[in-house]
Amino acid sequence: MPEPDVRPLPATFGQRLRAAMSARGPLCVGIDPHPSLLSAWGLNDDAGGLERFSLTVLDAVGEQAAALKPQVALYERHGSAGLAVLEKLLTASAEAGVLTIADAKRGDIGSTMAAYADAWLRDGSPLAADAVTLSPYLGYGSLRPALDLAAATGRGVFVLALTSNPEGASVQHVGGAESVARRIAESAAADNAAARGAGELGSVGLVVGATVGADVMERLGLDLAAVNGPLLAPGLGAQGATGDDIAAAFGAAVGNVLATSSRDILKAGPDTAALREATERTLAGLSAFSG
């Protein structure tokens, strides 16, 4: 009689991210192939330049960062050839054991949302990443197809909650202490309740700008520690936020922060040693909350 299959289930995204942050530090490096950066690297603004740029970043910093975050729009602008490069980057990252967050900011309703989920979160999809960013402004419940598929496949999501762009306040801040941002955070906390009960980091994360500040979070009634999910915090470096700023702003939730830096590191390329040195400097600057 054959032995029963007792292999453990695949780790959740929250578990994998926690392990990566513990081993490497709380840094996510954004892969943002802006035309100006491609030019600064001596690369053409085409699919060939895009591929060289992307794979160089992976090779240079993949073993230093907890995750890499390709900006999907900067691949889409090259059409099908650009998406083919993104597929190659996601595949190469997975083969190297590097977590990826597709910064796609998808959000829709019904079967369209299900199709977006299928593209970014389904096992076997050529665009499957470890996590994807989502926009909840058709209602948090509209994200349910992606939330459910992520849970089923051991992947994660990062839901836009409190961004640092000036326009964001006109939606996210509405309601004051009962703000839209607070309701999004509370919905994510509910989806992470089972992970909290198990003493683990949940897989439903939030995007919260690193430059927003503790005063805004307090005024809007956000309890980010209660979310029990990863907090993707763009704005480190070029946008002005420091590790000390993040530690002060996120308070009790700072242990769940995954700080994101893009241009401040990428401008050091194309030399891989220089990219690694820039990443090391950035990680050193996160010592205020990385232990």
Active site amino acids = 105
Largest CA distance in the chain: 65
Q: The tokens 């202490």 sit on which residue?
A: 177
Question: What is the rounded CA–CA span in Å between residue 255 and residue 239?
Answer: 21
Q: The tokens 């996210």 sit on which residue?
A: 172
Q: Among candidates 201, 208, 199, which has minimal Cα distance to 251?
A: 208
Buried-exposed string 253-262: b where 16+ CB fall within 10 A, e elsewhere = bbebbbbbbb
C-alpha triplet 278, 283, 284: angle, nearest 5°: 95
Beta bridge partners of 226: none
Residue 182: which H helix or E strand, with range? Answer: helix 180-191
